[in-house]
Structure 1
Amino acid sequence: MAMICVRLLRHNSITKEAAQVLGIRRFAVAGGKSKKGAKGGGGDAAKASELSKELKSTMVFGANILKDGADPKIMPDSDYPDWLWHLLDKRLPLSELRREGTETLTLDDLRRFVKLDNRARIKENNALRAKN
């Protein structure tokens, strides 16, 4: 009986009802493709990753969030606002701002000092209240 089932499975001539009666399981092939075509696939992914250096230097790939939109082009540095180039500048921590003194700080640094100092005092007060 087992030998007959194996022969039937090899030739794919067994029906669905017969497989249920015999308790044979069949698994679907991923993507509906046969195993022969599955090996070595992904040719589209290789083509997409081989973008020319010229395109990589003129476009920001992956920045498009719109369905019908296109990736933005990289503009010259003069077309961007000045504040953009200072976003990643390191700023002084609260301890350094305290050492400098409030008289010598710029207006932006003074505002930042007040904000950080208030935040530190609130955390300290909350820690004291939690212990009691």
Structure 2
Amino acid sequence: MKNFNPRMAMSWTRGLKHGVVPRHAAQLVESRSLAIASKAKKGGKADAGKTPALSQELKSTTVFGANIFKEGSDPKIQPDSEYPDWLWHLLDKRPVLSELRRKDPKTLSYEDLKRFVKLDNRSRIKIRNDLNAKN
């Protein structure tokens, strides 16, 4: 950059933090995109960079990007009855360690008790590592 201004860099980072793009940054992005578009037209391959539009029907029946193999196709979406029951509970909120410590261990379910032991062990290990760390 030929004219680097630290104040401009600071305003740019503050703008990103709040989701506001400064005018000089918007002009830079705009001018760069125009330069790229003009180069693509010179080569005659302006349409090569575009991704094909997918039909709404295809979007609602296929899981795009789920195929991990070189050959084959993306899997089709199946009815809910075809998936295992545990799948629907993956995003359920689970209690954090502080909530589990407030409850009586005798009243906890088996899953919550396992979670409490795991999180408590992890917490004690972190505390012990902090105490034994070399400063």
TM-score normalised by length of structure 2:
0.63
Give the SS at the match of 1:103: helix
Give the SS at the match of 1:123: helix
Change (3 A) 1:34 1:104: closer
CA distance in 2, matches of 1:68, 1:43: 23
Change (3 A) 1:45 1:114: same
Q: Deviations over 1:42-66 (max 9, x none)?
A: 25734x2x11101100011121122
Unaligned runs of 5+ in 2: 1-39
Equivalences for 1:108-123 in 2 at 5 Å?
108-123=111-126
Equivalences for 1:1-132 in 2 at 5 Å?
35=42, 37-38=44-45, 41-42=46-47, 45-46=50-51, 48=52, 50-130=53-133
CA distance in 2, matches of 1:70, 1:53: 18
Change (3 A) 1:126 1:66: closer
Question: Which residue of the partner structure matches residue 17 of structure 1?
Answer: none
CA distance in 1, matches of 2:122, 2:41: 63
Q: Deviations over 1:74-112 (max 9, x none)?
A: 001111000001011111000000011201111111011
CA distance in 2, matches of 1:79, 1:100: 37
1:100 is aligned with what amino acid?
K
User: Shift of residue 123 of structure 1?
Assistant: 1.4
CA distance in 2, matches of 1:99, 1:34: 66
The alignment of Structure 1 onto Structure 2 pairs a total of residues equal to: 96
**Quick one: percent identity of the two aligned structures?**
65
Q: Which has the larger radius of gyration?
A: 1
